[in-house]
């Protein structure tokens, strides 16, 4: 993959031998692509008996040069690592935002 000058060193990571653009890389590419913004449209929460979240779902809309792209991201104790289990709202938001940015950029 060829990236523009100034692309962050941590903008790509390899998983199972395949390259993926990271959140930092997507933010860089969105900024290079034009005027953009994002909004959180919906948040769903499911809490366990202990009062802690066990599932989060976030819908984010990204606007790039007048075009909108919405995506859903979810995070649960079942699909995140132990270190992330106390950050489910932020993980769900990041996943939704990354999906929306990938759609906006055609990645």
Q: How confident is the model at residue 32 (pLDDT cuts 50, 70, 90)?
A: very high
pLDDT tens sequence across 3-23: 899 999 999 999 999 999 999
Q: What is the pLDDT of residues 36-72, one digit of tens each?
A: 999 999 999 998 898 888 899 999 999 999 899 999 9
83/80 Cα distance (integer angstroms)? 8
Q: Residue 90: phi, psi to the nearest 5? A: -70, -40
Residues in the chain: 107
Q: What is the pTM of this model?
A: 0.88
- pLDDT, position 86: 83
Q: Is 1's pLDDT higher than 80?
A: no
């Amino acid at each position: 993959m060829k990236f523009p000058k100034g692309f962050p060193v941590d903008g790509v990571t390899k998983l199972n031998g395949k390259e993926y653009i990271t959140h930092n890389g997507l933010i860089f590419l969105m900024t290079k692509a034009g005027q953009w913004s994002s909004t959180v449209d919906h948040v769903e929460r499911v809490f366990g008996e202990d009062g802690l979240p066990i599932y989060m779902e976030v819908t984010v809309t990204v606007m790039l040069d007048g075009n909108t792209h919405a995506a859903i991201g979810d995070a649960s104790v079942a699909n995140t690592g132990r270190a992330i289990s106390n950050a489910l709202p932020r993980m769900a938001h990041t996943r939704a935002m990354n999906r929306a940015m990938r759609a906006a950029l055609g990645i």
